[in-house]
């Protein structure tokens, strides 16, 4: 009886293996296709961010031209330049998160990744020191 049960289990096991292999073969194209959609979405996002970065660089160049032609006040120039540079730095950070690290060859030297990171760190430090000093001034003024 033990021999009969082994003989009846063997076709069932073989059928299960064949069914499993068939399922894998059937679902492989669907799995690959979903990965391709993800890659296309990723590529689209990178393309949009690189386009935004390029637009920000163009806007900075135009702002510098306007400033050189005295059509923008010093205050407006500084304010707009700071906002555009922060936007460029944020765009670069997002591109870094997506694994895209290429910088365009035409990027101004002042907009290179390392320079922007140093300037943002300096601005944050200055802002932090200003907040500390403002807190000390308000404490001594009230005493």
9-67: pLDDT as tens digits: 667 777 777 777 777 777 776 665 545 544 767 778 888 888 888 898 889 889 999 99
Q: Which of 57, 50, 81 is nearest to 68 (CA)?
A: 81
Q: Which of 75, 104, 71 is nearest to 88 (CA)?
A: 104
Query: How much is the pTM?
Result: 0.51
**How wide is the angle at C-alpha 37 spanned by C-alphas 32 and 43, nearest 5°?**
125
**101 backbone dihedrals φ, ψ, rounded to 5°:** -115, 5
Residue 108 has pLDDT above 70, yes or no: no
Map the chain to HEC letters. Answer: CHHHHHHHHHHHHHHHHHHHHHHHHHHHHHHHHHHHHHHHHHHHHHHHHHHHHHHHHHHHHHHHHHHHCCCCCHHHHHHHHHHHHHHHHHHHHHHHHCCCCCCCCCCCHHHCHHHHHHHHHHHHHHHHHHHHHHHHHHHHHHC
């Amino acid at each position: 009886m033990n021999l009969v049960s082994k003989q009846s289990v063997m076709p069932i096991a073989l059928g299960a293996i064949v069914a499993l292999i068939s399922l894998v073969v059937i679902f492989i194209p669907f799995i690959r296709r979903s990965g391709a959609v993800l890659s296309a979405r990723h590529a689209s996002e990178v393309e949009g961010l690189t386009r935004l970065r390029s637009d920000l660089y163009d806007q900075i160049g135009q702002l510098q031209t306007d400033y050189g032609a005295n059509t923008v006040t010093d205050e407006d120039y500084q304010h707009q330049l700071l906002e555009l540079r922060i936007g460029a730095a944020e765009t670069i950070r997002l591109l870094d998160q997506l694994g895209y690290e290429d910088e365009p060859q035409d990027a101004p030297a002042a907009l290179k990744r390392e320079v922007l990171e140093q300037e943002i760190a300096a601005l944050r430090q200055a802002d932090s020191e200003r907040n500390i000093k403002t807190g000390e001034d308000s404490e001594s003024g009230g005493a």
